[in-house]
Amino acid sequence: MYATQGFVWGTPLVTADRIYFGDLDGVVYCVNRSSGSEIWRATAAGSVRGTPALDGDKLFVVTDSGFVHAFNAGSGTPAWQLELDAKNAERLLDSPIAANGLLYVSAYNGEHLLYALLQESGTTSWFFPPATR
């Protein structure tokens, strides 16, 4: 058993030798799958409610305060951090999806939104706004 700082809400991401997950205190963990020993921990800006996404050497998490984080999956070193539209209070509650160099993030600010971010930088590749009613 591994004790965390805060409550774990999302499903852990399990690989051949590691387990990645976040907690509601904004701590991101990497634990050895066999021994349960901590490999690293890092801090995110807000509660992590979704499952992290992994692509290559990058681990991605989103927070309920509107931040997207990329970490080096091996060391936990932050690669980049992006705050989505703060003035619109974006809430990121779902799990991001990483594929083909993009990170897909769903957001909610009274409307449901979808962002495609470049994995290397966090730059928005495209954005899908809700339909007008």
Which two three-digit tokens encode residue 110? 């009274």
* Amino acid at position 19, single letter: I
Name the 3-class secondary structure at 95: coil
Secondary structure of 5-73 in HEC code, one letter for each residue: CCCCCCCCEECCCEEEEECCCCEEEEEECCCCCEEEEEECCCCCCCCCEEECCEEEEECCCCEEEEEEC
What is the mean predicted confidence (pLDDT) over 45-72?
95
What is the pTM assigned to this prediction?
0.90
Rg (CA), the chain: 14
Contact indicator for 5, 27 with CB cutoff of 8 Å: yes
What pairs with residue 53 in β-bridges? Answer: 60
More confident residue, 75 or 5: 75
Q: Are 97 and 104 in contact (CB under 8 A)?
A: yes
Average pLDDT over residues 127-131: 76
The mean per-residue pLDDT over the stretch 7-20 comes to 93
How do the domains of the chain map onto residue ranges? 13-128
Question: Percentage of the chain surpassing pLDDT 70?
Answer: 90
- CATH number for the domain formed by residue range(s) 13-128: 2.40.128.630
- Say whether pLDDT at 129 is over 70: yes
